[in-house]
Amino acid sequence: MISLRDVSKRYGLLRVLDGVSLDVERGEVVCLIGPSGSGKSTLLQCVNGLEAIDGGSIAVDGEAVHGRGTNINRLRQKLGIVFQQYNTFPHLTALENVALALRVVKRMPRRDAEAAAARQLAYVGLDGKADQYPSRLSGGQQQRVAIARALAMQPHYMLFDEVTSALDPELVGEVLQSLRKLRADGMAMLIVTHEMAFAREIGDRVAFFQEGKLVEVGPASQVLDAPRDGRTAKFLGRAAQ
Amino acid sequence: MSFSPYHEFNWTDCWFLLQGAGRTILLMLVAGTLATVLGVAVGWLRFASRAARILTAPAIDVLRSVPLLVLLILVSSVFGIAGFDIDVFGTAVAILTLYAAAFAAEVARAGFASVDRRTRRAARSLGMTAGQEARHVLLPLAARTVFPAWVSLMLALVKDSALVSAIGYVELLKASQVAVTQTNQPFLVFALSGLLYFAICYPCSVLSRNLEARMKHDLAA
Ligand SMILES: Nc1ncnc2c1ncn2[C@@H]1O[C@H](COP(=O)(O)OP(=O)(O)O)[C@@H](O)[C@H]1O
Ligand SMILES: [Mg+2]
């Protein structure tokens, strides 16, 4: 379980996260929606310790992410993250992108790492692209390389940060397809998205986020179709236009 | 037959020039390697720490703005006056290294700064330690960005190394000057010496162009 308790974070005077509490169970899919600048990306990066927090605590399977004694590099292997801008390694082929951390972090022999990487590429539908460099791949393909790269570490949880918002509309579908497949395979996910239809389809629960606060959390259909909080309703009304 | 202080340019002179060229190559290899290692280390510090940037700035500015010839003569005279029995090769290497390292540090710093922080973050997010990320992401990406600048620096070093003749190290230029005093054939000697400099630098630049193309193979054509 990913468990956030009263998490707060500031950038200077700006309160980016303000008393956020949220749980993501194993196998559960939680979608995070909210206006841009509300702190969603920051929240994801706090969950895997890429960002520090100023108050509260975040635990993954009971281990404090920001705890002093925590081996964060080991803990991060449980938490795959995929970013809006893919951030593939431009100097490595698709296969090497996926195999690198297997060799370096998990210390797998090259052959095993590459075999595992090939399986992950196949999983996201990129079997034919193993030897291509990112510059030769479309945005959707690069994003799927990034997904395969995170999955290769065999994480227990996947964090997705607006993984389709940098993509041309015709490429969105292929990336969402990989997320559907993951959901079917029981992967626990925390997904930041602005695709409301997708959130309704894939999310067990939806959390609405505004100005660093979790305004409303509940079953996807409830939050999206019958929001209890006026701010959620207002946001959904604007998003529908 | 009248007496002449000169002799015809012969194989001995030619061999003498080749030895000079050998010493020029040796200077380039030793000072180039040391300057690169030192430059990457200092460039890393300057990239990673504001304090290091401020602390190292004076040394870098001085090394980059004082002419190499002045540095060479200054240091060897100071050592001479202080009564140190200096090793000419050691002094030449030390000064060339510091001089080139000052430039290499800036090249390296620019290279590190050119790497997208988000790409580095992605590496950390997979569980890589800072060291693993540096080795597998930061360094290779920085290296290929600044490789052409680094090659220019090394070629400049070969040519600048001619200046160490001023403190008496017999590298290619000094060897040529000596050969001229013995043969009085400056045109022939310096033509040969220019050819030797070319023979040192040209293969390096061809090799570097090939390497550069290989490193950029992944960029869209
Ligand atoms: N490294 C940073 N330094 C200072 N401010 C930041 C930094 N990262 C994000 N912010 C600010 O924090 C707020 C939340 O950003 P972010 O988490 O990216 O929001 P979202 O992902 O919901 O759009 C924004 O106002 C943003 O400008
Ligand atoms: Mg964001």
In three-state secondary structure terms, A189 is strand
Tell me the residue length of chain B: 221
- Nearest CA among A77, A78, A98 for reference residue A89: A98
Which range (B22-31, B115-124, B183-192, B207-216) has the least confidence? Answer: B207-216
Of A113 and B220, more confident:
A113
**Residue A55 predicted with pLDDT over 50:** yes
pLDDT of residue B205: 87
**Residues B147/B212, Cβ–Cβ less than 8 Å:** yes
The pTM for the full model equals: 0.88
Confidence at residue B221, expressed as pLDDT on a 0 to 100 scale? 42
Q: What is the ipTM of this complex?
A: 0.93
Contact A83 B118 (CB under 8 A): yes
Q: How many angstroms separate the CA atoms of A109 and B9, rounded?
A: 61
Q: Cα(A98)–Cα(A92) distance, rounded to whole angstroms?
A: 9
Interval B81-105: pLDDT, tens = 887 777 888 889 999 999 999 999 9
Determine whether the shortest distance from the Cβ of A163 to ligand 1 is under 6 A.
Answer: no
CA atoms of B163 and A138, how far apart (whole Å): 52
Q: Could you tell me where the beta strands, DSSP code E, fall in chain A? A: 2-11, 14-24, 29-33, 55-60, 63-64, 79-82, 157-161, 188-192, 205-210, 213-219
Phi, psi at A193, each rounded to 5°: -150, 155
Of A81, A89, A92, the CB nearest to B125: A81
Ramachandran assignment for A63, one of left (phi > 0), alpha (psi -120 to 50 degrees), beta (any other) = beta
Question: Residue B204's pLDDT is what?
Answer: 87
Residue that has been written with the tokens 């236009």 in this structure: A241
Q: Which of A93, A135, A149 sits opposite B126 (nearest CB)?
A: A149
Boundaries of every domain in chain B: 12-220
Q: Give the pLDDT confidence of A158-168 residue by residue, as tens digits.
A: 999 999 988 88
pLDDT of residue A109: 97
Rg (CA), chain A: 18
User: A40 CB less than 6 Å from ligand 1?
Assistant: yes
Cβ neighbours of B144 in A, within 8 Å:
91
Collect all residues with Cβ–Cβ distance below 8 Å to B104 and sequence separation of at least 6: B35, B36, B38, B39, B40, B43, B150, B153
| Contact (Cβ atoms closer than 8 angstroms) between residue A83 and residue A161 | yes
Q: Distance between CA A135 and CA A150 in Å, rounded?
A: 19
- Pick from B125, B139, B146, B212 the residue to mutate for testing the A interface (most A CBs within 10 Å): B125
How far lies B1's CA from each of A53, A219, B13, B201, in Å? 94, 112, 23, 43
> What beta strand segments (E) does A61-102 contain?
63-64, 79-82
Looking at CATH, the fold of the domain delimited by B12-220 is given as: MetI-like fold (1.10.3720)
Q: Is the Cβ atom of A210 under 6 angstroms away from ligand 1?
A: no
Check A87 against B127: CB less than 8 A apart.
Answer: no
Phi, psi at A18, each rounded to 5°: -135, 90
